[in-house]
């Protein structure tokens, strides 16, 4: 993570793990601070996570090509530019022109050339507000024509926006991206609601737009113009993004499919694997994306983890880390073909309610309180590099499910 990104993610929404209030951090020229790498994400501890928590997978049979060489000498941590919003564009492809914004007639080109800059987020001068990535997410038409309506995924809001065309990009930016939560948006500690909320929809509702100072605007009588888009929450609880752009570097094109195979091998027994067309709620979505920088440290892997809030008597309150990951990683899950059951979160409906989850037997428990659990926006982004197939078992068990890192000195960016 960059110095700026690391600092930007230190917030209530927990893109960063809070540091000790007495810790004095050096302030950089751009106004941000670089947190010590051990302050961001906890490192696995053999006493807690098992004696083999920092071991490579012994059963991994997938290997990179013999000539797959990368830079092993540079210090990675603290050298990535900050971003406020990450926008993934569905193209149905795994490789693109060298600069995806150069693809004629595409949504990516329109983002660059439309003349409307995103205004959300608190970024220092010279650092991007919007990270733009082409992805292999299928297009609605299943064709690769860049001018056809397509789908985008906004992070960290975990929001899918459908029916996006190059001509509608200014509207998308002004009425969706500018109103969406960012890497610096505080997570609301208590929001009054009458029903368990669709957190992603709430975050995009202009009546509840989050300001940069963390306050929430009051509802206004004016209504936004009719939207050409359809929005819905991303069904997945975790996302893994792998750079696969071989036009930028052949190693990315080689590593991404190999890592996906190995990740699938470890996710499928847990009922967490989701392929490109599997929209069952929960689980782990794996997408290939365009160049993100640092291909000489291939493979680059970005892991987005969603947060949880408890809805108690109509009040939304921040819940700790998701219980699903802790239960599965500790071997307490009851896994069936349909997914993960037992002492973990189960879905209470689909469609627009797919992001609202509740635990069995808790609807009227907790001292008579009515309680359910809602899945919110992304609350962590962990960017790793130099990832090898033998790292995947530990990444699934500890990084994806627990938010812990295994080799921060070698892999954390």
| pLDDT for 290 | 97
Helix extents (H) in 309-391: 323-329
pLDDT at 48 over 70: yes
Residue 202 sits at φ, ψ, to 5 deg, of -60, -40
Q: Which of 256, 303, 288 is nearest to 92 (CA)?
A: 288
pLDDT at 9 over 50: no
Task: Write the pLDDT tens digit of every residue in 159-215.
Answer: 999 999 999 999 999 999 998 888 877 755 333 333 333 434 434 444 334 344 444
Residue 100 DSSP one-character state:
G
Task: Write the pLDDT tens digit of every residue in 258-284.
Answer: 999 999 999 999 999 999 999 999 999
pLDDT at 226 over 70: yes
pLDDT at 328 over 90: no
Which of 28-42, 128-142, 315-329 shows the highest mean pLDDT? 128-142
Residue 14: partners with Cβ closer than 8 Å, 6 or more residues away: 187, 307, 379, 380
Q: Mean pLDDT, to the nearest integer, of 273-302?
A: 94
Q: Mean pLDDT, to the nearest integer, of 207-226?
A: 47
pLDDT at 2 over 50: no
Copy the structure tokens of residue 95: 């490789």
The enclosing H or E element of 7 equals helix 3-8
- Return the percentage of the chain with pLDDT > 90, whole number: 50
Q: Mean pLDDT, to the nearest integer, of 122-145?
A: 78
| pLDDT for 372 | 54
- How far apart CA 22 and CA 31 sit, in angstroms, is 19
Residues 124/32, Cβ–Cβ less than 8 Å: yes
Q: Which of 69, 38, 166, 33 is nearest to 110 (CA)?
A: 166
- 99-108, 209-218, 294-303, range with the lowest pLDDT: 209-218
pLDDT at 28 over 80: no
Residue 88 DSSP one-character state:
E
Which of 84-98, 170-184, 373-387 shows the highest mean pLDDT? 84-98
| pLDDT for 22 | 36
User: Residue 302: which pLDDT band, with cuts at 50, 70 and 90?
Assistant: very high
Residues 133/242, Cβ–Cβ less than 8 Å: no
pLDDT at 239 over 90: yes
| pLDDT for 143 | 74
More confident residue, 316 or 366: 316
Expressed in angstroms, the distance from the first to the final Cα of the chain is 4
Supply the DSSP string of 241-284, one letter for each residue: EEE--TTT-HHHHHHHHHHHHHHHHHHGGGT-EE-TT---SSSE
pLDDT at 350 over 60: no
| pLDDT for 36 | 79
pLDDT at 322 over 60: no
- How far apart CA 115 and CA 294 sit, in angstroms, is 28
| pLDDT for 81 | 81
More confident residue, 307 or 51: 51
More confident residue, 237 or 372: 237
Which of 24-38, 63-77, 301-315, 352-366 shows the highest mean pLDDT? 63-77
Supply the DSSP string of 136-202, one letter for each residue: -PPPTTSS--TTS-EEEEEETTTEEEEEE-GGGHHHHHHHTGGGS--TTPPPPSEEE-SS---HHHH
CA distances from 165 to 52, 108, 158, 227 (A): 49, 10, 20, 13
């Amino acid at each position: 993570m960059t110095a700026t990104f690391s600092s930007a993610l230190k917030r209530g929404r927990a893109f960063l793990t809070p540091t000790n209030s007495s810790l004095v951090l050096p302030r950089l020229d751009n106004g941000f601070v670089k947190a010590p790498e051990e302050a961001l994400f906890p490192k696995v501890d053999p006493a807690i996570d098992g004696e083999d928590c920092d071991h490579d997978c012994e059963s991994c049979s997938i290997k990179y090509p013999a000539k797959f060489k990368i830079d092993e000498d540079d210090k990675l941590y603290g050298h990535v530019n900050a971003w406020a919003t990450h926008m993934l564009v569905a193209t149905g492809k795994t490789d693109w022109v060298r600069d995806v914004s150069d693809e004629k007639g595409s949504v990516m080109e329109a983002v660059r050339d439309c003349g409307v800059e995103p205004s959300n987020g608190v970024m220092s001068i010279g650092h991007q507000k919007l990270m733009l990535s082409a992805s292999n997410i299928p297009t609605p038409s299943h064709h690769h024509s860049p001018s056809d309506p397509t789908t985008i995924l906004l992070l960290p809001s975990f929001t899918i926006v459908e029916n996006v065309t190059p001509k509608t990009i200014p509207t998308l930016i002004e009425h969706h991206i500018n109103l969406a939560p960012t890497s610096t948006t505080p997570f609301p500690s208590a929001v009054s609601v009458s029903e368990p909320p669709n957190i992603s929809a709430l975050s995009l509702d202009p009546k509840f737009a989050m300001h940069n100072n963390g306050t929430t605007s009051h509802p206004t009588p004016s209504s936004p113009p009719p939207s050409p888009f359809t929005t819905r929450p991303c069904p997945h609880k975790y996302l893994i993004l792998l750079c696969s752009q071989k036009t930028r570097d052949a190693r990315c094109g080689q590593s991404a499919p190999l890592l996906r195979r190995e990740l699938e091998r470890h996710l499928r027994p847990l009922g967490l694997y989701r392929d490109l067309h599997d929209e069952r709620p929960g689980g782990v979505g794996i997408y290939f994306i365009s160049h993100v920088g640092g291909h000489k440290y291939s493979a680059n892997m970005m892991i987005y983890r969603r947060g949880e809030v408890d809805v108690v008597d109509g009040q939304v309150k921040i819940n700790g880390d998701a219980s699903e990951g802790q239960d599965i990683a500790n071997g307490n899950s009851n896994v069936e073909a349909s997914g993960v059951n037992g002492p973990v979160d189960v879905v209470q409906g689909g469609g627009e309610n797919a992001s609202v989850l509740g635990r069995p037997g808790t609807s009227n428990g907790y001292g008579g309180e009515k309680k359910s659990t809602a899945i919110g926006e992304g609350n962590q982004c962990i960017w790793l590099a130099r990832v090898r197939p033998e790292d995947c078992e530990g990444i699934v068990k500890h990084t994806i499910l627990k938010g812990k890192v295994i080799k921060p000195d070698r892999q954390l960016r």
